[in-house]
């Protein structure tokens, strides 16, 4: 799937949400993986030279976002910064906020999903994450920000950082993310945005990403206004 760059947003430097001597926060486009896969292809790695800004060391991602997830991606510009960021993410101290447009919607207006996740795979279907008591603990707080015909706009705050956590937890709620074919959200582009991040560094660092173009119509249906 081609990256969703939006008008005037093809230059990596123009997609920066935050820049200091140690940390960059990039508005990653949907459809562009963070790392090139075994088959190669375009990825955020191709953008790193343009984001060096004179430093000899290229910045490096401090965490991952799924290929089809848009929004806040944190990069470290130095070895100490990357180590500090890695510790924040590993210890769950990076405060992450996501927006999703989901099919249907939860009956309540807020709540918490506490459902462990386990990786499964078959030769035919590849791998996926499933709710399973034998899996790793996974917890997500959520609240409804708006509703539309057949849709809901959710804010989600993961308290753990499991693979596909937001996607599986939305499906577990009975309202898979729009466009998430793997977990029941149907075909099309996935409507998931890493909306904001807050890092307890010294000084603190935070950023907020705008909704990508492909999410705006569904968000507007649920009451979002630019």
Beta strands in the chain (DSSP E): 16-19, 23-28, 60-61, 70-76, 95-103, 110-114, 117-122, 126-131, 139-148, 151-158, 192-199, 205-208
pLDDT of residue 62: 97
Note the pLDDT tens digit of each residue in 75-119: 999 999 999 999 999 999 999 999 999 999 999 999 999 999 999
pLDDT of residue 6: 45
CA distance 152 to 191: 11
Residue 152, strand partner residues: 102, 147
pLDDT of residue 7: 36
Under CATH, which architecture does the 12-221 domain have? 2-Layer Sandwich (3.30)
CA distance 224 to 140: 22
At residue 197, what are phi and psi to the nearest 5 degrees? -145, 145
pLDDT of residue 114: 97
CA distance 213 to 4: 7
Q: Is residue 189 within 8 Å of residue 101, measured between CB atoms?
A: no
pLDDT of residue 23: 98
Residue numbers in the chain where pLDDT is lower than 50: 5-9
pLDDT of residue 4: 61
Domain ranges (residues) in the chain: 12-221
Quick check: helix, strand or coil at residue 160?
coil
Token pair 């470290």 is found at 76
Q: One of 27, 66, 68, 180 is an active-site residue; which one?
A: 66
Burial of 159 (0-12, 13-18, 19+ CB in 10 A): middle
66 is catalytic: yes
Give the torsion sign (CA, 11, 53, 18, 163): positive
Find all residues with CB under 8 Å of 56, minimum gap 6, and list them.
none
């Amino acid at each position: 799937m081609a990256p969703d760059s939006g008008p005037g947003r093809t230059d990596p430097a123009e997609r920066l949400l935050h820049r200091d001597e140690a940390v960059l926060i990039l508005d990653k486009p949907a459809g562009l993986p963070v790392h090139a896969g075994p088959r190669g292809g375009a990825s955020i790695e191709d953008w790193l030279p343009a984001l060096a800004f004179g430093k000899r060391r290229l910045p490096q991602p401090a965490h991952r976002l799924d290929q089809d997830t848009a929004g806040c991606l944190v990069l470290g510009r130095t070895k100490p910064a990357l180590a500090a960021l890695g510790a924040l993410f590993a210890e769950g101290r990076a405060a992450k906020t996501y927006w999703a447009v989901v099919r249907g919607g939860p009956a309540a207006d807020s709540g918490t999903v506490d459902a462990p996740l386990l990786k499964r795979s078959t030769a035919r279907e590849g791998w996926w994450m499933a709710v399973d008591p034998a899996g790793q603990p996974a917890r997500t707080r959520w609240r409804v920000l708006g509703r539309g015909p057949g849709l809901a706009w959710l804010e989600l705050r993961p308290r753990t950082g499991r693979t596909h956590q937001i996607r599986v937890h939305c499906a577990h709620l009975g309202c898979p993310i729009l466009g998430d074919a793997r977990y029941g959200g149907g075909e099309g582009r996935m409507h998931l945005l890493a909306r904001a991040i807050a890092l307890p560094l010294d000084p603190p660092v935070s950023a907020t990403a705008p909704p990508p173009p492909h999410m705006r119509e569904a968000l507007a249906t649920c009451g979002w206004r630019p």
